[in-house]
Chains A and B, each alone.
Chain A
């Protein structure tokens, strides 16, 4: 065991196979507190799967996941892959990992405010008053105060995604996981969501960001990971990955985006 200071999030040797296709071939990552780690790569390179393996929405076949020094205890599942030894531990660790999805996934039968206070009340056991107070502050922060009593179906994609980000923030997560947060948005709505994410980065939030927004990744990231065919082909500071990639694969990928 190498001695390290406690990382906010650490994953080791994640493997994942979908019906014979090896999507992740042993990925290890580490994010220290305040890091903004962008994961880039072409479609099918395993970016989203990696993110989903971290909070076990996808069951990895192998690997270790350590959140703020606490390792998620895993055991082999009968149907293959790994499953949590203790469901409660998984649920507890998940509250520390704020997930933002490509398709927002707001709960359609609840208003924006109800979406935000749902988990604080029913998972963390906070009082309704406390949850609402926090939710209103976060809605103000993402610029949606006037939409608090609106149902998600009546919001634009950008507004829905900002609400989804606020929903994740309500849990005070130690790490935010963004799974292509702007990929489902019309181009003119991308900016408002990126602005919110940028604000979070500047606040010093620890974030993992799977994205196709290269200019943005280069701007906000402290570290960029380039995935290719389930491997980390190259990683390093954004200047390296985008301006002077060391590997041929990274060069081929990022040259398409050079300005």
Chain B
């Protein structure tokens, strides 16, 4: 076992970790906001929005993330330069990067999974607690903001924690669209040094550590509202 390469590659490893964490945080945060909309569309939307949301979730959960990523990167990505003026716009430095496509596809995918979880959680909030909100004169929006959604998120919290960990482990797919994430760094080190296992072991430790941080954070949040049983 040789680890002397770390001395040379640690800045790259840190950059890789930052890319991985960025992808995770962006996709989880933005995806969660999208999921809220998708879940409410299914729970209390009209026929059209309900079916659209369902179709979205079925499609994105029913196809491999890798294929979604490639469809975006090679499909949409190859169309973008054809949009007049886009190449000259200030957005182009972002839009031409693999990172952008990875972030978008991970976000859309996470939103689909999260929407289904949130839908279940919204439905499992006791009806009576919602009635109590209506009975004190809450508007539909206040009810959602103060009672329904926070209550549902509390119910879904353990499941969400699991989803975030799963999402972390999807991020290496970004490597396939030129993102220098943790896994890409390991790959590069292997190519440069011809070491087979050591770079993989080191990034594995990174992933385990990140998972531990995620689990800890969610435990902390859960402890804020003790719910019996």
Residues of chain A whose beta carbon lies under 8 Å from any beta carbon of chain B: 55, 57, 87-88, 91-95, 97, 99, 101, 103-109, 118-119, 122-123, 151, 153-154, 164, 167-168, 171
Contact = CB atoms under 8 A, between A and B. Distances in A.
23 contacts: A57-B131, A57-B135, A91-B139, A93-B137, A94-B134, A94-B135, A99-B132, A105-B126, A106-B129, A106-B132, A107-B133, A107-B147, A108-B126, A108-B129, A108-B154, A108-B227, A109-B150, A109-B154, A118-B136, A151-B225, A151-B226, A164-B132, A171-B136
B138 interface: yes
Interface of B: 126, 128-129, 131-140, 142, 146-147, 150-151, 154, 225-229
A95 B146 contact: no
Chief secondary structure at chain B's binding surface: helix
A154 B227 CA distance: 9
B139 A97 contact: no
Contacts of B147: 107
Nearest to A150: B226
A119 B137 contact: yes
B129 A107 contact: yes
Nearest to B145: A122
A53 B135 CA distance: 11
A91 B132 contact: no
A123 B145 CA distance: 12
A151 B228 CA distance: 9
Contacts of A168: 136
Contacts of B133: 107
Nearest to A87: B139
Given A57-B134, A95-B136, A109 B151 contact: yes
A105 B128 contact: yes
Contact of A151 (B138, B150, B151, B227): B227
Contact of A101 (B128, B137, B225): B128
Nearest to B135: A99
Contacts of A93: 137
A183 to B, nearest CB: 13
A103 B137 contact: no
A251 to B, nearest CB: 35
Nearest to A177: B135
B14 to A, nearest CB: 38
Contact of B228 (A104, A122, A153): A153
Given A57-B134, A94-B136, A119-B138, A154 B128 contact: no
Nearest to B147: A107
Contacts of B146: 118, 122
Contacts of A119: 136-138
A109 B125 CA distance: 11
A97 B135 contact: yes
A176 B85 CA distance: 65
